[in-house]
Structure 1
Amino acid sequence: MNRHSQRVVGIRYEVILMASEESKPRDTLRYRTDTTIEAGKDAPLKLDVESMYFGSDTRVLIRALPAKVGDRELPLPPGWRE
């Protein structure tokens, strides 16, 4: 859900794959979509993610961060390159 008071344009998704017994990620995948979400509205999550760690004992954590809120471009999160 877009909890901002303005439209969000572009979503940066970080998919973190963790083994249940480890505290360090096995794999981290980053994607940017061109999704637009109006203030207070929802949008479905649809990612095509591939990793050799799927199918094993893996926890999946997903972070979603806006790329742009209103007319303001947000800085890249740590570790991102575009």
Structure 2
Amino acid sequence: MSVSTLNNSMRLSDSMERDLMISMLSNGESTSITSLAKSVVAVLKSGIVTVWEYTIEVSEAMNEARAKDARFTGSQW
């Protein structure tokens, strides 16, 4: 069976549906909720760590800018 683009309004015959199911299940990949959940958690963890590190970096830059501003406030140029 050739791979075709599917949309919601397309009706499959029983044989087409069976062929599609067999081709989807015969690719050798196991479908495990555990491995999927682990990969989702890893991606979320990576995103959270990245946002956290960025927030800390911005906070440190703001503190450094405030310290420089406090040092030069009121000085004569």
- TM-score scaled by length of structure 2: 0.18
- TM-score scaled by length of structure 1: 0.17
Higher strand share: 1
- Structure number with bigger Rg: 2
Q: Which structure carries more relative contact order (alpha carbon 8 Å, separation 6+)?
A: 1
